[in-house]
Amino acid sequence: GLRDLGPALSPFNAFLILTGIETLPLRMQKHCDNAKAVAEWLTAHNKIAWVSYPGLPGDRYHNLARKYAPKGAGAVFTFGLKGGYEAGVKLVSNVKLFSHLANIGDTRSLIIHPASTTHRQLSDAQKTQAGAGPDVVRLSIGIEDKDDIIADLEQALAA
């Protein structure tokens, strides 16, 4: 067991971890670049009420993001859909490239509508207080081609 042998990885697992660490800066830059492009695109879309992404100049945390994360403001952000709860459920149902998952930080793009999933047990007031109002959608942007990510959101919003 662990007590007798110590915490030792198999050689292959060690190789995978080292490879992951070596390529992390490249992947993170792609995550951040893609997220900014998607956030900018969403900001201009007529079915989107608001976008909360620190990489956007109008965001209340933009100056902090520039100071503490000068290479990119991360890959996870939220936005609000005009049309509320039903629009959120519909959007998540219609994406093809995005995975409908609650975890974040994957190399693949993920989407979730918290009001109908992770926060569904809360009252409407509690959801709003928790930042999971009926219009909120959370994205974790992956390293796919940014045009493919945007095209998927575009077709899902048009459906």
Domain CATH number, residue 114: 3.90.1150.10
Cβ(106)–Cβ(141) under 8 Å? no
User: In this predicted structure, what is the pLDDT of residue 104?
Assistant: 84
Per-residue pLDDT of the chain (159 residues; tens, 9 = 90+): 566 766 788 889 889 999 999 999 999 999 999 999 999 999 999 999 999 999 999 999 999 999 999 999 999 999 999 999 999 999 999 999 999 988 888 899 999 999 998 888 888 899 888 989 999 999 999 999 999 999 999 999 999
Tokens for 22, please give them. Answer: 């070596």
Task: Identify the pLDDT of residue 1.
Answer: 57
pLDDT for the residue numbered 81: 97
Q: Which domain holds residue 127?
A: 2-158
- Rounded CA-CA distance 85/87 in Å is 5
3-state secondary structure of 138: strand
Name the 3-class secondary structure at 146. Answer: helix
Phi, psi of 38 (to 5 degrees): -65, -45
**Residue 34 in tokens:** 């893609």
Output the pLDDT for position 158: 97
Our count of domains for the chain comes to 1
